Structure 1
Amino acid sequence: MSQKIDLDITSVIYRPVLIRAGVAALFGIATFLFQEPSDAVVNYGSAIFFLFSGSAMWEYLRRDPVPEGMRSPLSLIAAIWMLTALTLVGLQLGDVSATVTWITIAAGLGVGGIAEVWAWTWRKSFAPARDHLIAGIVGIITAGLLAAMQDLDYHRIFGIAGTYALVVAVLFAITGIGYWLDTRKAVKEDGYQPPAP
């Protein structure tokens, strides 16, 4: 998958890609472990997911190989996710209903998904951008599911958000591991010296 991508890109990008995959995997697993989550588990758990996902996106976008223009949609994603995290904490502290929780999560995933599709438009000049299409579409579909379902309780909200997280985890784990293996092989076999992140 990553053989055609310049090593100077893969060697710098694989870490933030794997961090995003790891954050998504942990959240996705947590949503299946908590079968009857309380409002606090859903709001705080989702807030932590959005917070660390936004941080991972920030780490990704500030790397030198990322094209300057592509940083706009990536910055928007990071900002939306951070704002979503803060909103979810506020919802829990304000003891607001599950309806507002799913609207907040749907907005974060939906707007973030649209921005990821926008980031995908840089795929010709920056090959790793191609992964943002699938992640963006999954975010938009997840937001649509949350909006379309009736009588969403915290269990369903957590489950739907967790499914999104697991899809993203698998997508970016495959990509990140591929980049890491390409870099490792070049370092061991060809004496490649990766640039500083």
Structure 2
Amino acid sequence: MPAVKPDLETADAVAKPILIRAGVALIFGLTTVFVQEPSTLWMKVAFALYLVFSGSAMWEYLRREPVPVAMRSPLSMAAAAWMLGTIVLLFLSAPQAIGLTVAAALAVGGVAELVAWFGHRRAFLPARDQLITGLAGLGSGVALALGSHLNPHGQLGIVGGGAIIIGTLLAVSGVGMALDVRKARNLEADRAPGRVD
């Protein structure tokens, strides 16, 4: 029983930022599906919001105590790449330049997540999610770089597909952790001395 406790503590600590990032990714991904004729300004703002809120969720994740110190360096690089991409977007207006900037931010972030996964997948269970999120980010970045000549809807669709993959994976992971913690707390409350049913 004592061996399970750290896992529950870790789940309790990281579930919220994981779910926040999942929500950001899913909201962005769904807007790319339902907005059929986005303008360049819409594309720019959507990309900027996706990057900045993903970066913010990652920073929040990194602040949690159970996250290994050595894992924070590559994931900080991912968050920094997304934040820097957001800043650069403020000065751009050409669709292709916007696409290439976002592609670079996503690709760097994806590689950084893969580095975090490779180094910590065995010692830190939540790091295993970084394999899929890293591949999705890197794949979206490469695909967007190749498709940066496309119109705003096409570019948003490329990144939106990756975002939906990321959001779905992290939602399943985060909800699973939250439910495990709730179940453990309920069980502990049921076993508490003096409880009267």
Fold in common (TM above 0.5): yes
Q: What residue in structure 2 maps to residue 85 of structure 1?
A: 86
2:143 pairs, out of 142, 145, 151, with 145
The structural deviation recorded for 1:149 is 3.3
Deviations along 1:91-131, whole A, 9 cap, x unmatched? 1xxxx321111101110110000000011021111110000
Segments of structure 2 that go 5 or more residues without pairing to the other structure are 191-197
1:12 is aligned to 2:9: no
Write out aligned runs for 1:175-190 (5 A).
175-190=173-188
Write out aligned runs for 1:69-80 (5 A).
69-80=70-81
Q: Where in structure 1 do 4 or more consecutive aligned residues deviate above 4 Å?
A: none
Deviations along 1:20-46, whole A, 9 cap, x unmatched? 000111111111121110011000111
Comparing 138-147 with 152-161, greater Cα deviation is found at 138-147
Give the structure, 1 or 2, with the largest relative contact order (CA under 8 Å, sep 6 or more).
1
Letter in 2 for 1:171: L
Q: 1:43, 1:80 → 2: CA distance? A: 16
- 8 A contact 2:95–2:148 mirrored in 1: no
1:112 pairs, out of 109, 112, 127, with 109
Q: 2:112, 2:27 → 1: CA distance? A: 23
- 8 A contact 1:24–1:166 mirrored in 2: yes
Write out aligned runs for 1:24-173 (5 A).
24-91=25-92, 96-120=93-117, 121-149=119-147, 151-173=149-171
**Bigger radius of gyration among the two:** 2
Question: Percent identity among equivalent residues?
Answer: 46
The structural deviation recorded for 1:143 is 1.5
Deviations along 1:57-92, whole A, 9 cap, x unmatched? 00001100000000001111111111111111221x
1:174 is aligned to 2:169: no
| Structure 1 vs Structure 2 CA RMSD | 1.7
Q: 2:5, 2:25 → 1: CA distance? A: 26
Q: Give TM-score, length-normalised by structure 2.
A: 0.90
Q: 1:99, 1:108 → 2: CA distance? A: 14
Q: Give TM-score, length-normalised by structure 1.
A: 0.90
